[in-house]
Amino acid sequence: MTRFTAPIAESIWDMKYRLKKADGTPVDASVEDTWRRIARSLAAVEAEPDAWEDRFYAALEDFRFLPAGRIVAGAGTGRTVTLFNCFVMGTIPDSMGGIFDMLKEAALTMQQGGGIGYDFSTIRPRGAAVKGVAADASGPLSFMDVWDAMCRTIMSAGSRRGAMMATMRCDHPDIESFITAKQDPARLRMFNLSVLVTDDFMDAVKADGPWDLKFDGKVYHTIQARDLWNRITRATYDYAEPGVIFIDRINQRNNLYYAEAIAATNPCGEQPLPPYGACLLGSINLAKLVTDAFGETAALDEDALDELVATAVRMMDNVVDASRFPLPQQAEEAANKRRIGLGVTGLADALVMVGERYGSVEAARVTERWLKRIARAAYLASAHLAAEKGAFPLFDREKYLGGETLQEMDDDVRAAIAKHGIRNALLTSIAPTGTISLFAGNVSSGIEPVFAHSYTRKVLQNDGSRTEEEVVDYAVQAWRDRNGDAPLPDHFVDAQSLHPLEHVRMQAAAQKWVDSSISKTINCPADIAFDDFRDVYLQAWEQGCKGCTTYRPNDVTGSVLSVTPSAGDAKPEPEESGEVVYLSEKLDRPQELEGTTYKIKWPESEHAIYITINDLVVGGVRRPFEVFINSKNMEHFAWTVALTRMISAVFRRGGDVSFVVEELKAVFDPRGGAWVQGKYIPSILAAIGGVIERHMIAIGFLAGEGKAAAEDPQIAALRAGERPRGPACPNCGQYALRMIEGCLTCADCGHSKCG
């Protein structure tokens, strides 16, 4: 009997987590082999590895404890990858040499599979004087462009693009440019953006007072705080970014308030970290701990929860010793503090299985109780580990117990820490679990509500055809197994039927007992009024959240995988996923074509490069048909001819050819790129990609990076009358992306930029 309860779970295991040889031959014959590989690897650091291996295996078995994807894919493989999910890099110096040293560190970290966060507030604003060179500073956003270009090039752990978070303080002089940066559809696509919001700023917003934008003690501008707040929330309303991070609250409630200062988070926001901070993640699958689901005695087995949490803490603590690190500073930081991020997944499913409606006052109360139980068990387990193996090196008993979070802990927990110390400085975090939740049988993700009760997934077969299969939420399937075709009870709700403030209520309830932070997306309806939308952020602040991320489908960002009610049925039914369709016959070339010629003058190159792009009109839609790249520089001759032929061949095949732009812009010249018109371009090929992109946008074929604005009639006809779907999944091509915990995740193949 297979352990997988859904075909999608087995597919994700095979694609992402199953150990295989270089030629693709499987090493893990079954998911049991994967669990055994992880258990053996993490038990290897124990004094009695055989005994702990079996206990670790039991925790993994049946998907009860879900280490993050980095651990599942990397533990016990012998590969040079980090098992840590997220890093915040070192403080960026306000100097050219220091900035590019940080760029190198970022590349090395992403190469081994780490997502990274940076605070760009330390770079002087645009227009500030640069001493000794008689020039003005280009500002932090220009260097963010450099990071973005680098991230396009680095394939994180050899399999996917890296993920990055950029933060900027609300009082930085360039904050207004930061807020609007991603409104350019071709800019900073590898970044998530968040504004560091301070208590003083929120006080000024409520008082409608003035707000100084300053750097290094100099005030550059003074604006109204409420105007800036409105700009932040309006940008998020229209473009889904930036998010906000309540940075003072994070630092005030940090267990290590006495040893570090935090100014950035990892890409999804659940881990606020100091310079070179690193954290690993793992989740307790609450849906697997419910007894008598939907019955009269349905409940979470809290004794089993205590035992599972204790084992999970020990496993994650061992990861600190078993993992490799891209940089020695990261290894030192991890060893000194032994941070872990134990969280949950399947919360919404567990709630509905015990009869609670997600978002209700009672569901929030139950959530707070469950999360407190997890926190208690985790802190007690870490204290007992400290008695056995020693406290983390920077533990200071008086200061640690004096922290805000520890003062709210139960007396027995505080007594255990006072007696033994504690092994891990911070223990709890709720991370994005989009892919591992699918791996575990499509349980609800993290603390998110169920996104859809079911949807149709298109599966690519070996012969090139696609078949359809239904993907059903774990709790819905459990209801069907128990009650057949009986209608779902009223307390089965999904993300589309919730009020945004119900999302805030659930996030705030969980945050009280999470010592790091929470990755969560507050999904808002497209027609929500701006004032109501803005109130979501104010309520998140008032109710004690450490940050806030929202998503509102609209004409700019597109919609994600969505559900619509069928006629005469209040239950949501899946909207069929679209797919990328390629024309089977190449397009014929007419005698005459319209085109445009562009000139690129590359610094230090004697001759310019000329790019001519000719267009074809098909069914009233204008699309690129061929390209010619020419230069008098003979060193360029061979590759320009090759590029001309290859790109033209792709264009003539028809279909969505916008990926050509992405691939060219991702090319990074190891000898260094160049500054062109105030923007860093990583290579000549990237410059050519930029020209093609601008041309596609100009003719209406491309609305933004990787997103076709106009399509061939054969493609457009398939989607006639449908709402905008947003971008296709870059891994499988399906229009099945949904926003989960701040990160788009494909419901068909599990691809996620965040892990």
**Where are the chain's structural domains?**
594-719
**Residue 373, pLDDT score:** 98
Q: Is 46 assigned a catalytic role?
A: no
Q: Which residues contact 527 (CB under 8 A, 6 or more apart)?
A: none
Q: Answer whether 523's CB lies under 8 Å from 510's CB.
A: no
Q: Answer whether 640's CB lies under 8 Å from 684's CB.
A: no
159-177 confidence digits (pLDDT tens): 455 689 999 999 999 999 9
Query: 682 in the Ramachandran plot: left (φ > 0), alpha (ψ -120 to 50) or beta?
Result: alpha
**Residue 716, pLDDT score:** 39
The catalytic residue among 85, 254, 266, 424 is 266
CA–CA dist 700, 554 (Å, integer): 19
The first and second tokens of residue 426, run together, are 């911070």
- Counting every residue written for the chain, the total comes to 755
Angle (CA) 428 446 408, round 5°: 30
Ranges of residues in the chain whose predicted pLDDT is under 50? 1, 155-159, 560-585, 705-725
Q: Which residue has tokens 């923007």?
A: 679
Classify residue 212 as exposed, middle or buried by CB count within 10 Å of its CB (0-12, 13-18, 19+). middle
CA–CA dist 412, 407 (Å, integer): 12
**Residue 740, pLDDT score:** 62
Q: Is 270 assigned a catalytic role?
A: yes
Q: Answer whether 732's CB lies under 8 Å from 749's CB.
A: yes
Residue 743 sits at φ, ψ, to 5 deg, of -140, 130
Q: What is the DSSP letter of 718?
A: G
**Residue 699, pLDDT score:** 84
> Peptide bond preceding 328: is omega within 30 degrees of 0, i.e. cis?
no
Cβ count near 39 (within 10 Å): 24
The catalytic residue among 270, 356, 579, 711 is 270
Strand partners, 752: 745
Angle (CA) 208 194 527, round 5°: 70
Q: Answer whether 638's CB lies under 8 Å from 647's CB.
A: no
**Residue 234, pLDDT score:** 95
